[in-house]
Structure 1
Amino acid sequence: MPPITAGTLIPPPSTSSSQPLLDLIIQIVSLLLLSSLNVRSFVGRWQVLHSKLSTLHSALLEVSDSPHWSENPLVHTILPSLLSTLQRLKSLSDQCSDSAFSGGKLHMQSDLDMASASLSSQLNDLDLLLRSGVLYQSNALVLSQPVPGSNKDDTEFFIRDLFTRLQIGGVEFKKKALESLVQLLNQDEKSAGLVAKEGNVGYLIHLLDFSSQPSVRELAASAVSVLSTASDESRKRVFEEGGLGSLLRILETGSMHLKEKAAAAVESITIDTENAWAVSAYGGLSVLIEACRSGTPQLQATAVGAIRNVTVVEDIKTSLVEEGAIPVLLQLLVSSPTDTQEKAAMSIAVLASSGEYFRSRIIQERGLQKLLQLIHDSPSFNTIENPLRALSSLAVSDPIARILSSSTLFIMKLGELIKHGSLVLQQIAASLVANLSISDGNKRAIGSCMGSLVKLMEMPKPAGVQEAAVGALASLLIVRSNRKELMRDEKSVMRLMQMLDSKNEVISKTFPLAIVTAVLSGGSNGCRRRLLEAGAHQHLQNLADMNIAGAKKALQRLTGNRLRNIFSRTWRE
């Protein structure tokens, strides 16, 4: 048997009065079954009660036949309250069977309804106990906290026992059951999947209501938070049981500690796009924004993560902005830990790419300045990607494009990213260089990134990276000194020749042809001579013979001026 650990539920010792108490209850039920058939008043209500009593009688006999019922502490909580209900029903039965009864009908009707409701609740508890199977296994085994790697059947049985205690037991039972549940959930993802399958997750979520005792509510929030973040299966179960609405209510009015747990769960649940839309349906957009505005750093990090997840839902974006998300997100860009900054930047990037309305709102809130500040101040390239994406989207606006084009500091940053950034950063930076109207002086200043752009031309993935590299390189080659510098770079020239080779079928010839044409556009004899020495003439001739678009034009530029120079020299002579 696995050892008993912290959080293990310790049952109270069995008492010698258990069996006589159960026998007494069964005897009273038998009497009530007979007397309920002989009542003279409220016959209809007693017919309903007779049906419930009959079900109760069967359940009690099943409990009595269970080998370990007397060891289960929940039975000791149910039987006394059940005896009290039955004694009350016996008194009411006697009154309703008395032909001389002349009491108040409304009062009797109320008493019968209350007793019937109590009986239904206790029947439900007994049914839960019997269905869980906990009465058929020794209490000592059931209550041992499973350790990692425990037998699956034992773990499932333990889970059913925990949820039985949650639903039937009092506050202390619930607290200890929840403590054990949280401990189990924190073991591994497998345990969370078993809890989602075997446990009553809906009841666990019910414990998040404000009517629950505070310590029970906090433990339930911990359990739901772990379930929401542990696995796809458990996260889906929490959402299907209505957990998102309860978590958002906690996020709105709970203690800061509870809010942190709720926000972590909401962030995880909204990872699934089909769940994210429901945040708006529950009125949760303003709740998430307020958590970002005034929460602790931990709360802000998870709340902004949920907003990031929600921004991908097309129908919610406008509402999110109208609720005031943009100024809050921009503030998080410049005054938060790295993880929070990244999530806020991703949200801004998504909104900036969603249309002119969103871009104008970002610009109105000085988003351009804050994005630039984050890019320039960031000590690592890891946090630049999404701010750069946002700037790329904002640059669709001509005024913003002019501002970015005239910023030498920003242009130098783009050159640095093309040389040393990740492939994604290189692509975004190259696209910006290709599309911005950069001055010749700034183009010369970042000319050293041309070798990296040539390398990017060889990259078939991600989609669009070759086009971005060619566009940026063609823009830089407008400057004469950059053309000469590229031709002095042996590795870059060799790469261009390899890409021009008709035997190289991996690279589209459109890309190297565009760059050779750009290099030759200035009429520099030095550049032309360098290309001829590298073997460009033969490659271009082969491509022209194959009728590759652009090859004849590049070949003419490579050879045309040379022929004219020969004719000119002959004429002078």
Structure 2
Amino acid sequence: SVKRVKIFDPLLIESKTPATVVLMLSSPENEVLAKACDALYKYASKGDENKVTLLGLGALEHLYKLLSHEDPLVRRNAIMVFGIMASNSKSLKVLLFFTVEKYSFATLCLAHMAVEYTTKVKIFEQGGLEPLIRLLSSPDPDVKKNSVECIYHLVQDFQNRAAVRELNVIPPLLQLLESVYPRIQLLALQTLEVISKDRETRILLGENKGLDCLLKILENDEFSDLHIETLAVLGNCLEDVDTLQQIQLTGGLKKLLSFLEVSTVPDIQKNAAKAITKAAYDSEIRKIFHWEEVEKFLLSLLDSNSDEVKVAASQAISAMCENLDSKCVLGLQGIPQLVHLLSSNNEEVKEAVVTALTNLTTASPRNASAVAEAEGIKPLMNTLNAQRDGAISNAIAVLTNLSLQEPSRVRIQSHGIMSALVGPLRSTNSQVQSRAAFAVAAFGCDADARTELRNVGGLGPLVELLHSKNEEVRRNACWAVMVCGSDELTAIELCRLGALDILEEINLSRKRKNKFSEAALEKLLDNNLPQKYSQMGYLSSSNIITNGFYDCGQVNKTWREIFVFGRTKQARAY
């Protein structure tokens, strides 16, 4: 006969005692384990006292064993308990020095927890950085990977960046670059990129021969998947004069530029140009870049098929223009390329290119002539209809720079510059307004240009800019009114539009008035003599009465005293 074994139906065990639930963590039943972890999570989330209780019951050791459990629900719930326990300083301290020292998998848990800001603070406060850095030299690749990933998350906070530097994190990170595991190498580079934003770390990187190590990665085609991150670290190093000089003296800068010149990877080209842009804000660094002929590299990027690369290259060219020698080289060789790119359908490219042209032509008659010779006037005029305010304002600036040369000014006027400026004068962007008013002043010295502006209704929006609260906009608008008020017809129209009243109001304010507002008022009155006689009660010896003069009668005496004697106590009191 066969003996039958009696099997119980599922038995639901409930407990309100944490010690009993901790014992349930040793159960062979997956369902019991998952529910026990869930119960502990709810218990621990109620307060620090409960976390300390679980700590005393040895819950962490049992939970650790479940982190590698075959059932995903059990694993998930166990990690959740680990995470909630880490929010308590006492349990976190034990977790750090108990789990990090003894269990490799625990570093994975820490890496996940280090993403949260509050947990980062806790790990830092409990001295977790030191054991993590020590574990970078562990023989276990999983420990290395998890530890460096945790450190990467931690150093996103500047306080931790300073701390890891003090704990000498550079040597073990550089050692990880020689790992046979690409993931470990990548995490090490990403961590180096973050911490090398600090100058002190860049110095340590040079002292530990880290720059040579990074250049070797670039020279090795087998590490092509690491080149972008490597360039990010080197890009930070380029921002420091001392570090850059060190790279230059060892021939590293030539190696770097040689590598960049032959690279066809858009991300590498883009990031390299961005690094040069950031570094070029320093005058000494610009000199070094010029000595190493970085202009040649930047100009080559303008031929890229990637719009992002073209934008980055144009921005770098703009930055390098602060160096006069570089400005000369870039203007001579790069202006035809830049003019060609003005016809791009990409608005971001157009804006970056026209910004570069602005910097190239400012205070450089030679480069301004080169733009005209490259047939740049028409595409610049077309750019005044661009969708981005930056493109419009810089196109105006380039055209204004070109206007300083008579042949170019005549050509620009023949393309209807005053008509094209009406739109920018109505812009809501203060930089566009300012540059548009400045351009009106630049081109308004020509009688035909003033007539054009008057006929297309451009005087109205110009007068409106006199109300601007922006000092630069208001000053340039006053300047433009002064220039445009040079002939009688335009002066009369400006007065009709209220320019005279606005200027008088501006000149009564100590804060708002400027030398152009005073000159503009005088110019309008000198070219509208009936208005001047009515306003002032007299004409000066330089005022020549021509046909059409009439006496419309004086304005109210009190107002005349304000206009004429605006600095008197009586006028200020009024």
What SS is found at the alignment partner of 2:419? helix
Matched, 1:375 2:373: no
Question: Quick one: structure 1 residues 208 and 361, their matched pair in 2 at CA, closer, same or farther if it must change by over 3 Å?
Answer: farther
Counterparts of 1:557 and 1:475, CA distance in 2 = 20
Counterparts of 1:251 and 1:392, CA distance in 2 = 35
For 2:522, the aligned partner's letter is K
Matched, 1:362 2:330: yes
For 1:400, the aligned partner's letter is N
List aligned pairs for 1:186-197, cutoff 5 A. 190=156, 197=163
Counterparts of 1:231 and 1:394, CA distance in 2 = 35
Contact (CA 8 Å) 1:537, 1:558: kept in 2 or not?
no
Offset of 1:283 from its aligned partner? 3.8
Counterparts of 1:308 and 1:534, CA distance in 2 = 46
Question: 1:403 aligned to 360, 370, 373, which one?
Answer: 370
Offset of 1:511 from its aligned partner? 3.3
Counterpart position of 1:323: 292
Instruction: Specify the structure having the higher radius of gyration (Cα).
Output: 1
List aligned pairs for 1:296-335, cutoff 5 A. 296-297=264-265, 298-335=267-304
Counterpart position of 1:99: none
Question: Quick one: structure 1 residues 453 and 330, their matched pair in 2 at CA, closer, same or farther if it must change by over 3 Å?
Answer: same
Normalised by the length of structure 1, the TM-score is 0.60
Matched, 1:139 2:139: no
Counterpart position of 2:436: 469
Counterparts of 1:318 and 1:385, CA distance in 2 = 26
Offset of 1:193 from its aligned partner? 6.8
Question: Quick one: structure 1 residues 481 and 380, their matched pair in 2 at CA, closer, same or farther if it must change by over 3 Å?
Answer: farther
Counterpart position of 2:16: none
Matched, 1:337 2:306: yes
List aligned pairs for 1:40-439, cutoff 5 A. 133=97, 139=103, 142-146=106-110, 147-148=112-113, 149=116, 151-152=119-120, 153=122, 160-167=130-137, 169-170=138-139, 173=140, 175-181=141-147, 183-184=149-150, 190=156, 197=163, 200-207=168-175, 212=178, 214-215=179-180, 218-230=182-194, 237=201, 240-242=204-206, 243-253=210-220, 255-270=223-238, 279-280=247-248, 283-297=251-265, 298-355=267-324, 357-363=325-331, 366-376=333-343, 378-395=344-361, 396-405=363-372, 410-420=376-386, 422-436=388-402, 437=405, 438-439=408-409
Counterparts of 1:161 and 1:545, CA distance in 2 = 70
What SS is found at the alignment partner of 1:312? coil
For 1:521, the aligned partner's letter is S
Contact (CA 8 Å) 1:392, 1:432: kept in 2 or not?
yes
Question: 1:521 aligned to 480, 486, 494, which one?
Answer: 486
Offset of 1:253 from its aligned partner? 4.4
Counterparts of 1:133 and 1:567, CA distance in 2 = 97
Counterpart position of 1:552: 522
Offset of 1:506 from its aligned partner? 5.4
Counterpart position of 1:533: 496
Counterpart position of 1:566: 548
Question: Quick one: structure 1 residues 234 and 133, their matched pair in 2 at CA, closer, same or farther if it must change by over 3 Å?
Answer: farther
For 2:354, the aligned partner's letter is L
Counterparts of 1:567 and 1:312, CA distance in 2 = 58
Counterpart position of 1:52: none
Offset of 1:239 from its aligned partner? 5.4
Higher mean C-alpha displacement, 343-352 vs 154-163 = 154-163
For 2:486, the aligned partner's letter is S
Offset of 1:559 from its aligned partner? 2.7
Offset of 1:162 from its aligned partner? 4.8
Question: Quick one: structure 1 residues 224 and 280, their matched pair in 2 at CA, closer, same or farther if it must change by over 3 Å?
Answer: farther
For 1:564, the aligned partner's letter is T
5+ residue gaps, structure 1: 2-67, 72-131, 569-573
Offset of 1:306 from its aligned partner? 2.8
Offset of 1:290 from its aligned partner? 1.6
Query: Percent identity of the aligned residues?
Result: 18
Contact (CA 8 Å) 1:329, 1:344: kept in 2 or not?
yes
Normalised by the length of structure 2, the TM-score is 0.60
5+ residue gaps, structure 2: 1-21, 23-60, 65-95, 510-516, 531-542, 551-574
Offset of 1:207 from its aligned partner? 0.7
Offset of 1:188 from its aligned partner? 7.6
Contact (CA 8 Å) 2:463, 2:499: kept in 1 or not?
yes
Question: 1:447 aligned to 403, 418, 423, which one?
Answer: 418
Question: Quick one: structure 1 residues 493 and 308, their matched pair in 2 at CA, closer, same or farther if it must change by over 3 Å?
Answer: closer
Counterparts of 1:333 and 1:194, CA distance in 2 = 40
Counterparts of 2:271 and 2:295, CA distance in 1 = 17
Question: CA RMSD for the aligned pairs?
Answer: 4.4
Deviations 1:4-36, CA, capped at 9 Å, x for gaps: xxxxxxxxxxxxxxxxxxxxxxxxxxxxxxxxx
Offset of 1:331 from its aligned partner? 0.9
Counterparts of 1:176 and 1:505, CA distance in 2 = 59
For 1:225, the aligned partner's letter is L
Counterpart position of 1:101: none
Counterparts of 2:474 and 2:100, CA distance in 1 = 76
Counterpart position of 2:477: 512
Q: How many residues align?
A: 422
Counterparts of 1:528 and 1:143, CA distance in 2 = 78
Deviations 1:58-111, CA, capped at 9 Å, x for gaps: xxxxxxxxxx9xx9xxxxxxxxxxxxxxxxxxxxxxxxxxxxxxxxxxxxxxxx
Contact (CA 8 Å) 2:383, 2:395: kept in 1 or not?
yes
Question: Quick one: structure 1 residues 273 and 363, their matched pair in 2 at CA, closer, same or farther if it must change by over 3 Å?
Answer: same
List aligned pairs for 1:29-44, cutoff 5 A. none
